Amino acid sequence: MKLKNKISVVTGAGQGMGRTMVQHFVELGAIVYAVDVNAQALEETVKDLAGKAHAVVCDITNEAAVTALMARIEQEQGHLDILVNNAGIGSMDSFLDTPLETWQRVINVNLTGAFLCSREAAKLMVKAGKGSIINFSSTGALTGEGPSHYVASKAGMMGLTRSTARELAPSGIRVNSLVPGATDTPMMAGIPQEWMDSMIAGIPLGRLGTTIEIARVVAFLGSDDASFITGQNIAVNGGMAFY
């Protein structure tokens, strides 16, 4: 199997793309630490995965919690092969009406959390001389479409990817961004129908993406099949943007 015995961390694993990635990684042979702040949602994610997925309640914006998570993985597994920085939040506030608290919360989860997880995961990967980090960005980071706080956080993910890809390459660590377009997830439920209709109208393939379509590409990037790919933005968006 493509990910046989690959020790993996997937953040934001309680629902949507994160849940599907955990399940798909296990199908491909990985041992997965499914990370989220919602314990009940995590249990739903891992309940049928026969001990191949470990539910870990962790606030990725808490430096001590992230450090403890990676220390646990090192103690239990000895190394880490794959980190997927999928956790993300947003809101529908317009730029002029965005409270500072909302801005800080979105940046903290979407970007700072990824920084903390990447930094601590990379310390393990450097010891092993290999590893793969996949950051979740967004098509909006390039088109500018979407709430400013969310778009800014996802543009930051692209910068984090490029910088760390260069710095960590000599240690055998690859870093890429997965750039999904509009995907059918619970996060989309709060979007007004007229926005949804307009969004789908702008997708040449004429539909939303599915979480398994995202998970398959992430699994590829984490696998040895992608051993010469680093520093890239990999778009999975149905043709809604080209770059």
The catalytic residue positions are 150
Number of alpha helices (DSSP H) and beta strands (DSSP E) in the chain = 9, 7
Contact between 57 and 45 (Cβ < 8 Å): no
CA 187 to chain centre: 14
As a whole number of angstroms, the distance between CA 109 and CA 205 comes to: 31
The amino acid occupying position 233 is N
- DSSP letter string over 174-232? EEEEEEE-SB-SGGGGGS-HHHHHHHHHT-TT-S-B-HHHHHHHHHHHHSGGGTT--S-
Q: How many CA atoms lie within 13 A of 31 on its CB side?
A: 11
Q: How many CA atoms lie within 13 A of 172 on its CB side?
A: 13
Contact between 231 and 177 (Cβ < 8 Å): no
Reading the block at residue 207, the tokens are 């539909």
Q: How far is CA 184 from CA 13, 46, 79, 108, in A?
A: 16, 21, 33, 24
- The single-letter DSSP state of residue 112 is I
